[in-house]
Each structure stands twice: as structure tokens, then as C-alpha cells.
Amino acid sequence: MVLSNQLKGFLYILLADSLWGLSGTVAKYLFNQQVSPYDLVQLRLILSFILLGAYFAVVNPKLLKVQQRDYGYFLIFGIFGVATVQFTYLYAISETNVATAVFLQYLSPIFILLYGLLTRQEIITAIKLLAISSATLGGFLIVKGNFGSGLAVTIPGLIGGLASALSFAFYTIYGKYGLDRYSLWTLLLWGMGVGGIVWMFHAPPWVTFFSYSREVSVFFFYIAIFSTILPFGFFFKGLQYLSPVVTGITSSMEPVLAGIIAYIILGEVLSNLQIIGCSLVIVAVVLVQIRKEKKP
């Protein structure tokens, strides 16, 4: 049986979504085992950088090269892009449940759209206003949980989730500048490398690694390989077969899968209002992607 290119692309993206969706549940499991989110983000960045760097050193050494004039760019991208995204996302998971953290991060396309409107790179249209309204209402319902009660998430969890969305928006916008001269893999590799160096001020990584049991240490490698390297590989492979718009819409399955997996493995349950809110966020993301498709 020969698969069509579009079906191949869809399967690759679905694989990436599944691994990313599962990663939140694995991270939450580690937090339940008293693993610090500070330790996890440090080891995720450093292990991913070492493994990915070793692979490219053998397979494609050109991807390791960075021009001296771009050192400052990679410093900013690594600190305020990659490292900040990783930490705020994992911190939000540690302070709330997996689905809430993932869906809050998925507000990032709306922040990107707002940035475009503020910088006059975008013009206001009905579909953009609908996307912003849908995301705003969806985010409110996710955070509220139930009417007549307090917030369904802690204040630190809410701040972490929104910071994750904002930093991911910055990661996306600022990353586009680097794509004019470098491969996505080069940006990812050195972004993690710089982020890992910054997090070494938290503690020596070897001390962090060996302070946990062998069982937990295995999960550190799982996070580096199956939550970072492989899903990015599958994502970019799928992008070869699909348009960016179809890829973006298909990627909206990630938070849905994350919520389902967290429910099955961790027993995390969302309220009816939160489920409606999650659906509205997905609608907003799809509307933003459709808007990109129609853009001349």
C-alpha cells in the first residue's frame, strides 16, 4: 500500500503531536515525584543540545556553524526564546494541570496576531476579530473553570501559562529573523545550547542529574529524545509534505491529545466550561491559520 504525500505528512504531524502531547503528562509525573521544574528544564535543554549536537556533528556538520556577527542574536534567542519557553511551560504544568498549561500556551498565535496589528503588519478584519474574541473567551473559561467559584488554576499557574504563550510568540517572531540565514535545526540546536548554559547557573548539571534516582534519570533522557528531538524531526518531515496552513491546523491536535492522555494516565479532569474554553482556543488557532492561507 502506497501512502499519498498528504497522508504521510498528516501522519508525521500526528506523531509529533502525540509525542508533544505525552510530554506534558510525563513532566507532570516527574513533578509528582518531587522533581523540580528548574531541574527538568535545565536537563532537557542540556541533554537535547548534547544529543542533537553529536548527531549533526556526524551527519551534517554544516548545521553547527554560526557566523560571529550572529552571536548576539543567538544569545537573545536562546535566553528569551528557547529557555524561557521551556521553563514557563514546564512551570505552568507544575502549578496546574497538563491540559490547562498546554491550552494557555496555545494562545500564542493570538499574541502574534496582536503584535502584527500593533506594528501595522496586519489590518483588522472580521475573521481576526473573531479569532481574538474566541481565544479571549476560551482562555477565560479555562482559567475560571466554574461560575460562582474562584479561579480553577493558581495565580502562579496562570502567570506561567500566559508567560509561556507570550514567550512562545516571541520565539516564533524573533526566530523568523534567523531563518533567513540558518536552518531551523541550527536555531533549535544553539537556542538550546545557550539556554542550557544559562541554566548552568542554577546548579552544575551533573549534580542535578545524579541527585535523582536511576528511574527518574531515564525520564530525563525520554524528555530530551521523545519530547524534543523526535517530535521536531517528525514535525519538519510532515512540513515537507503539507502546506504551512494545513500543518498548523493539524498541529492543533496537540493540546487535545495532551488533555486526553493526561485524563487517561493522571486522571486529570476538566470542567464543562474548561472543555468549552479549550474548544474556543482551537477555533481561534484554526481561524488564524485560515487567515494566513487567505493572505495574498
pLDDT of residue 232: 84
Which pLDDT belongs to residue 266?
A: 84
Domain that holds residue 108: 5-294
Q: What pLDDT does residue 190 have?
A: 93
| Cell representation of residue 285 | 488557532
**pLDDT given at position 150:** 64
Each residue's pLDDT tens digit, 254-275: 778 888 888 888 888 878 888 8
Q: What's the CA gap between 212 and 259, in Å, rounded?
A: 28
| pLDDT digit string, tens, across residues 112-125 | 888 888 887 777 78
Q: Which amino acid is at 264?
A: I
38-42, 53-57, 83-87, 278-282: range with lowest mean pLDDT: 278-282
pLDDT of residue 244: 59
Query: What is the spatial distance between Cα 135 and Cα 137, in angstroms, rounded to a whole number?
Result: 6
* Residue 248 scores a pLDDT above 70: no
Is pTM beyond 0.75? Reply is yes
19 neighbors 226 (Cβ within 8 angstroms):
yes
**What is the 3 state secondary structure string of 1-43?**
CCCCHHHHHHHHHHHHHHHHHHHHHHHHHHHHCCCCHHHHHHH
- The pLDDT assigned to 26 comes to 92
Cα(230)–Cα(9) distance, integer angstroms: 15
153-156: long-range pairs with CB below 8 Å, 24+ = 153/95, 153/96, 153/100, 154/95, 154/96, 156/91, 156/95
The residues near 269 (Cβ < 8 Å, ≥ 6 apart) are 263
pLDDT at 245 over 70: no
Q: Is the pLDDT of residue 148 over 80?
A: no
Helix or strand run (H / E) with residue 256? helix 253-266
pLDDT classification of 91: cutoffs 50, 70, 90: very high
The pLDDT score that the predictor gives to residue 194 is 93
Residue whose C-alpha cell reads 504563550 in the numeric block: 165
Q: Are 270 and 99 in contact (CB under 8 A)?
A: yes
pLDDT at 249: 65
On the question of pLDDT at 280 being above 70, the answer is yes
What is the predicted pLDDT for the residue at 238?
Answer: 79
Model confidence at 174, pLDDT cuts 50, 70, 90, reads: confident
Helices 126-144 + 108-118 axis angle, to 10: 140
Using one digit for the tens of pLDDT, what is the confidence trace for 45-57?
999 999 999 999 9
- In the three-class reduction of DSSP (H, G, I as helix; E, B as strand; rest coil), residue 266 is classed as helix
Residue 282 has pLDDT above 60, yes or no: yes
Which grid coordinates belong to 130? 473573531
What is the secondary structure of 203-218 as a DSSP string? S-HHHHHHTS-HHHHH
- The pLDDT confidence band at residue 107, using thresholds 50, 70 and 90, is confident
Mean of pLDDT values over 25-30: 91
Q: How much is the pLDDT for 8?
A: 81
Tens-place pLDDT, residues 184-233:
889 889 999 999 998 888 889 999 999 999 889 999 999 999 988 888 88
- Count of domains for the chain: 1
Q: Residue 3's pLDDT band (boundaries 50, 70, 90)?
A: low
